[in-house]
Structure 1
Amino acid sequence: MKSMPADVNPFGALMVTYLVAAIISAVIFVFSLGPSNISVGLSKINWTSVVLALAIVGLEVGYVFVYRAGWAVSTASVVANIGLACVLLVVGYFLYRENVSMQQILGIFVCMFGLILINL
């Protein structure tokens, strides 16, 4: 993504990227299930695939924007992964009633401190 030309529309580039990924995934999907089981495999998919797609596009376009803003590859990746981990911890707690330990809460604070150090 860092090598993407500055004058390319990021959503157009992501569209091509995900079309290629969709074609590859479709081929693997058909070969893994067999052509006669495609409808059975597709019938088991629910809303989570759509939400995951929205999250992935949000993350990817976020990478494009931070790289265009001049961030280093290593810094952008660390910030995005820390942010994602913290958000997923909160989502897991509120939506899925997962237990959050004191160690995880401490980990969030350590991550936040790390973000402060990165941005100094």
Structure 2
Amino acid sequence: MLNFIFPIILITFSNVFYNICAKSIPEKTNAFASLSVTYTIAAIFTFLLVCLNNNLSKGIFSQFKNINWASFIFGFLIIGSEYGYIQAYRSGWTVSTCSLVTNICLAILLIFVGILLYKEHISINQILGILLCIVGLFFISKK
């Protein structure tokens, strides 16, 4: 059960502080300079985790042999996501609505991605959820 719940807890708390950090980057700071520091820290920390988390008897570089195209594209997409959040906060979005709106949009789009790419099935509850999300977006975005 913990293996099922722990990732959700980790994602949730990481995203809370992620959004606090994104909103706290000073407007005068070049967003890409800030992201450079962010990725340097992330690269060092993840490399240390590779060393601590795997059997290195075959060498450190053997841990990277199964990486495919997705890891490279993922890097570009993370930059887009993080830069997008920084710019959203700088343009006036609030912490209480920015993440909510983007995650609702994401959830709606991923239902269709699941159907089209992964042959997942959509239920009546999901259809109702989509409709409620769209209504919620209307009310959240209305000023």
Give the TM-score taking structure 2 as reference length. 0.76
Distance in 2 (CA, whole Å) between partners of 1:71 and 1:103 is 30
Going from structure 1 to structure 2, the CA distance change for 1:74 and 1:101 (only over 3 Å counts) comes to same
Unaligned 5+ segments in structure 1 are none
Task: Kindly provide the CA deviation profile for residues 85-114 of structure 1, in whole angstroms up to 9, marking residues without a partner as x.
Answer: 122222222122221222212211211111
Partner of 1:89 in structure 2? 111
Give identity over the alignment, percent: 43
User: In terms of mean alpha carbon deviation, does 2-11 or 52-61 score higher?
Assistant: 52-61
Distance in 2 (CA, whole Å) between partners of 1:8 and 1:22 is 21
Distance in 1 (CA, whole Å) between partners of 2:40 and 2:114 is 30
Q: How many pairs were matched up?
A: 120
Unaligned 5+ segments in structure 2 are 1-21
Which structure would you say has the larger RCO, counting Cα contacts within 8 Å and 6 or more residues apart?
Answer: 1
Distance in 2 (CA, whole Å) between partners of 1:16 and 1:87 is 31
Following superposition, the deviation at residue 33 of structure 1 comes to 1.3
Moved over 4 A (4+): none
Cα RMSD over matched residues? 1.6
Partner of 1:22 in structure 2? 43
Give the TM-score taking structure 1 as reference length. 0.88
